[in-house]
Structure 1
């Protein structure tokens, strides 16, 4: 038996704002809220399904040093350019991590500056 990723934890100052952003990006819903303002978002079927959930852990200060993990997303129902436009409208912004401009992906940052990539390949929904 092997493990699989069940949830990703992302430290943030404003879990509500990031929940709105990532729920819109991934078509997720809020699954739970903690007393400290932390939140868990995920697919409508909830925790334990084929996709991991994201736990938005409220932190007053950002983590020290560079983030060592980032999220890659792929469009499910449109091409990369159309999805890039949608993500920018939702509040993502371009991020420069030293890319050459010849990459097949776009590097973006969410409203709190967490980097993620929009890949070229379109994938089917689960």
Structure 2
């Protein structure tokens, strides 16, 4: 039997703050919070989740793994996320790419894909 995907672990300078940002961005909620970690999921029993853990140093290079989000309206979603504190990120993407690269408040890149067709 193959393994089940439980969560993605995110290193964070401020796990509680970053978890709350991503929970709002994704429509998730906090399902576990301790001084050492904060986990968010769509629902308490829904996998996968995002687990935010503290690290002492800031992010310094491009992520090797990132999330892709596919909204109903790419332009509106990019605007909403930027209003929440995301910022445009340059990772070498082509100007005519079908996605927009943003970074969360701690600099973790993610993509907002074009709307489904």
Q: 1:21 and 1:104 mapped to 2: Cα distance?
A: 24
Q: TM-score of the superposition, structure 2-length normalised?
A: 0.89
More strand by share: 2
Over the residues paired in the alignment, what is the CA RMSD in angstroms? 1.8
Equivalent residue, structure 2, for 1:12: 12
Change (3 A) 1:4 1:65: same
| Unaligned ranges ≥5, structure 2 | none
1:49-108 deviations in whole A, cap 9, x for unaligned? 2x4100001111136654211111111xx4111111111111110000011211000000
Change (3 A) 1:83 1:65: closer
Q: 2:106 and 2:18 mapped to 1: Cα distance?
A: 8
Work out the number of aligned pairs and report it.
117
1:26-66 deviations in whole A, cap 9, x for unaligned? 10111111233x2111112x14x2x4100001111136654
Aligned: 1:61 with 2:57: yes
